[in-house]
Amino acid sequence: MSTTTLPQSPVDAGVPAPAKRVPAGEGRIGLRANLRHIGALARRNVLQIKQDPESMFDAVFMPIIFILLFVYVFGGAIAGKGNNTAYVNYVTPGMMAMMGMNIAMGVGVGINDDFKKGVMDRFRTMPIARSSVLIAKIVVELGRMMVATAILLGMGFLLGMEIQTNVLGMFAAIGLSAVFGASLMWIFILLGLTMKTAQAVQGMAMLVLMPLQFGSSIFAPPTSMPGWLETFTDYNPLSNLADAARNLMMGGPVADSVWMTLGWSLAITVITAPLAVAKFRKKT
């Protein structure tokens, strides 16, 4: 009587089963590799700016136009005729907060446009962390924000601004603005991944920007506002940042406004960054 011998499976034969293929970008990526990917992607974004210098126009010309308009059109009415220098000292640190928010809006528009062109689909097929694509965008936009801030401060000095604390206070104000600006970029990245078109991103961004910017202490002291608006201003994170930057550069209590700004930055990042990365993974 003959018996039929069945072939042994790889497991029975002591041969390890073939490793399960992990989709690109889904495996665990170490910190060093992640930083290397962020650096490469940031370099790619910088090269894009080099090839398209017009993309820097907003960062270069916006601070010049805004500070000239507000100092010479509104400065006399707010600070009194002939007190333009005093108003420069007031508005320039406050406008650092506005620069961060306006630059942050461009991140969402850029993300949305990259998806339309298919660039992001290509990135998602590569063995890189999903977050590295978004973080590289933020790194480059922070560089653009620093350019805008430097031009803003340069214009402020030309118009008569005088730092009444010290240079360290000025750099602390710049650093605080960068931290808050980076947190705002996660909001606009999420908007860019959610909205269908770049025009929709810009429209939604303006609905957010206008009340926050003008309902704050950036351009005028809240004490001149109606009670309900003054209350809104007190809780506006842009007011906290404007007050912190102003007090760091011009003197005054800084602890409360600095900690409030850092708290807002942390809360915004903790909430929106994971949502943005998850949306990036699932977006089709």
Q: What does the domain layout of the chain look like in residue ranges?
A: 32-282
pLDDT of 247 reads 93
Residue 233 and residue 218 in contact, taking contact as beta carbons nearer than 8 Å: no
pLDDT of 284 reads 62
The model carries a pTM of: 0.82
pLDDT of 80 reads 67
pLDDT of 21 reads 43
pLDDT of 99 reads 85
- What's the pLDDT tens digit per position in 161-170? 989 989 999 9
pLDDT of 23 reads 44
Residue ranges of the chain whose pLDDT lies below 50? 1-26
pLDDT of 82 reads 65
pLDDT of 200 reads 86
